[in-house]
Amino acid sequence: MFLIVGLGNPEKQYEKTFHNLGFIAAGDCAALLGAKFKKRECEAMVAEGYIGGEKILVARPLTYMNASGRAVKQLVAKYKLSPHELVVVYDDYDLPKGHVRVRPSGSAGTHNGMRSVIAELGTSDFARVRIGIRGEDPDIPLIRYVLSEIAKSDYDLFASACTRAAEAAVLLARGEDVDRVMTKYNA
């Protein structure tokens, strides 16, 4: 079994913001697996799919971004998963917009959602797929920027990035070597 978690905020007002790119990518993961978000468990909406008979869960935490770790910890505990059976997909201000970066582990950087996941799990030793969001205007405070709506002129760029992030996450869930996935998807 494997768990893919896309980080975001659960309310409609955040739907088209940078901070919801993890939710969008999770939707793309579910679509790739032919799954739908039907069940609510462990403070998350969960879609269940299969690859070669192996169950893959895709989750969108219903906690707010800064408390995402709560839902992730509950799911990991419920399904008795190791950190190596988890991949987290999220937006990252430290990468240029539209870039996708896969890593086998690492720090939270500037991301409070990842900070929560690492704190709750007690480890940073799990795969992550980051979607770059850094734009041209560095004068906007980070919290305002990540919660701002994506410009319509950038929709295609971010839709493509979310699709690539979802493909990378599903490959990792399928057991593909992380180095190969990094070579294929890292910008």
List the catalytic residues: 19
Other Cβ atoms within 10 Å of 176 Cβ, number: 13
Determine the length of the chain: 187
Cα separation of 79 and 108, whole Å?
A: 24
Tokens 């579910």, residue? 30
Q: What are phi and psi of 56, to 5 degrees?
A: -125, 125
Contacts of 138 (CB under 8 A, 6+ apart): none
Alpha helices (runs of H) in the chain, residue ranges in sequence order = 21-33, 68-78, 112-121, 142-146, 155-173, 178-185
DSSP code of 25? H
